Chains A and B, each alone.
Chain A
């Protein structure tokens, strides 16, 4: 199997032990699910954080999802909490391609909504996942403040890899506006969400120095794993 499939399966197995079910979502999204419902309104400068592929006709406001986060909304619309899911999948960014950027890559979204969910639990789950994924019991992680409109507080997570901190995911507690938007009372329910870059994690774990190898289909690469 493709190295990214193997990595995704490993991630799913780890999260399954922690009670997370795997769900999917469409790659073509509406502006509503990709942005508005995630508290990223049309004229907000935060839109610039996601370079977007739009589909013809532009007036229809359909796009290639820029992240797996729309699955949060789609799932919460149809499933009452408590919720504990992951959603791996392909995402797209309109940006220049090089060894560390590609117009298509894979994310794995995580979402927990329950009563009294807190940041300490987010830390616990993320650390447990990373330790198991890298198979390193003493893997050092670092949580730094960051900003994603659909979480509050928002953090970025680094791992200490070969003496350097490298960023591996964004995360945070689900923003009350997002909960409110799917009809959940933020004073009753809280949650955390994270989105990790599966290509990036796999590149780090296996020393792959160019993200494009995953999509070139070269058997000399694919059969190494």
Chain B
């Protein structure tokens, strides 16, 4: 939810810290808030902090500020305007409040409300609709207003009947069934309860008599319906997180007040309030010392009480036992460990002094499969094999996904071979020398049958001969199979028996190398050979080449051929040119090679051999 800094400020008389600092404090003590005010409210706080009032309470607790006492809405009820009656035909409605308001017309959205809606990303529709949205962003309680003139006969809250459908605000028509909770009249559905209003009784410029509704519905029912109808609305989000039914009453007061202010000659009627099972306060017994023990802190009883009280929790000492009475809006506080979190986060996790674990774990034994994978990897690395990590999802297999992420990724892999062959093939042209080998392996999980999951080892190369040595060392009896021009062996990892048990399981070698971008463009390979006096250090020659070859030289020079003739030694180097921005031309590389030739020939006793 997007937070408005000015809106939060309105809850306090003392000035708040600058937005950057305020949001940083909330991030450190409550929940993540980005610099632009976007707050990442997770499900634990969605019942109270998807609202500015809820966030303001957090601000008060985190910064130790006193909130301005909210002014009680003041308005007179018209005794001649009876409470609407709503027939409740379902147990899924936990609370239903309704009230009629009439006026000769309704004005535009007040500027201060328009401004606040704008900063939190709300849409402006009309005065009446805007104030109802505003109440949700202020108090976290969704509300809905119907045009009473469009309602036919008795209003009711019930589950839909099979075959019923509703045209929603915005025009979409959805089919309903017996799992969907609706608000209806005698002509049919008016509203998908708690999720989205319908078009038939929507408020328009011609509306004079309104029915204000503020309800609370079963969170599971709301969640299932919102998902099934693909209506993930702001209202559904608040209800599915188990908003307190107690929140309905202040929201009805606030909504009535704001609608009355909009209406010309407006009158508000009596209240209908269906609330069969009023929620009881949650009481948690706790031991301050247990909270300290869980956090690793030494807060005094007074500090713990004070932190909880700053959140609206009432703390009392009953004999030797402490009791916390949780405010109705904090749906997430149920057990004493929840209270420990409140104490810990308000005190600040940076204030908790780090401790070590007790030093009572001397022998550590890893699972055999972990040790085995380790030894196989080390053996293969020593034999020049490069380890790859392939995709677990492929176009073929025995186990299919319900929801594939992409075409060609519909199945769990049934083997490692298919992926390894592909990787061998794509890497084959990337070699710099024709005689260069390409030896790859992977250890990974495969799913060869519906209920089977195994860890396999696969290794592959261009020729079977390149695999033979290491197969012997690993005592793998399987023969390499040939596929698409490569040879591959795949076995179950636990079937590999190591001949040498002497490999140290834990030699450390996490490289410190930093990633260098790999160009997607083709490279151009060139050789240069030259005569130098015997005794010349080839590394020095390579340095000289590197110094003049220019920025397009990406790999090399690699020394690949050496022979002596009389007093002279012939050296041959391979250079690889590549750009990160484009495909290189021969002309560019020719220029670089001319520079190399010129620089070498200008060195005394160096002679580049003409190719």
Contact = CB atoms under 8 A, between A and B. Distances in A.
Given A119-B295, A145-B349, A215-B391, A206 B403 contact: no
B353 A120 contact: yes
Contact of A217 (B353, B427, B517): B427
Interface of A: 1-7, 9-10, 12-13, 16, 18-24, 26-28, 43-46, 48-49, 53-56, 58, 64, 82, 84, 90, 92, 94-95, 97, 103-104, 112, 114, 116, 118-121, 123-125, 127-128, 135, 142-147, 149, 152-156, 173, 175-176, 190, 206-209, 213-215, 217-225
Contact of B377 (A5, A12, A43): A5
A124 B386 contact: no
Contact of A43 (B223, B335, B516): B223
Contacts of B517: 209
A147 B399 contact: no
B401 A56 contact: yes
Contacts of B224: 43
A16 B293 contact: no
A118 B392 CA distance: 37
B440 A118 contact: no
B367 interface: yes
Given A84-B361, A104-B393, 15 more contacts: A2-B387, A23-B370, A28-B412, A53-B405, A82-B361, A118-B294, A119-B294, A119-B296, A120-B295, A214-B389, A215-B391, A218-B430, A220-B430, A221-B515, A224-B516
Contact of A16 (B430, B438, B506): B506
Interface stretch (B29-37, B581-589, B601-609): B29-37
A144 B28 contact: yes
B509 interface: yes
A223 B345 contact: no
Interface residues of B, number: 94
A214 B442 CA distance: 13
Contacts of A2: 387-389
Interface of B: 27-32, 42-46, 219-220, 223-224, 237, 240-241, 293-297, 335, 337-338, 340-341, 344-345, 349-350, 352-362, 364-367, 369-370, 374, 377-378, 381, 386-393, 399-403, 405-406, 409, 412, 419, 422-423, 426-427, 430, 438, 440, 444-445, 447, 453, 506, 508-518
B29, B389, B422: residue with the most chain A Cβ atoms closer than 10 Å = B389
Contacts of B241: 45
10 closest Cβ pairs, A-B complex: A120-B296, A19-B361, A153-B341, A143-B349, A217-B423, A118-B296, A124-B354, A10-B510, A147-B42, A2-B387
A206 B515 contact: yes
A124 B357 contact: yes
Nearest to B292: A118
**Secondary structure of the A side of the interface?**
mixed
Given A28-B453, A145-B349, A219-B430, A121 B356 contact: yes
Contacts of A214: 389
Contacts of A19: 357, 359-362, 364
Given A1-B377, A103-B405, A214-B389, A55 B31 contact: no
Contact of B438 (A95, A152, A219): A219
A223 B432 CA distance: 13
B518 A207 contact: no
A13 B508 contact: yes
Nearest to B370: A22
B453 A147 contact: no
A28 B399 contact: yes
Nearest to A103: B405
A153 B337 contact: yes
A27 B402 contact: no
A92 B401 CA distance: 12
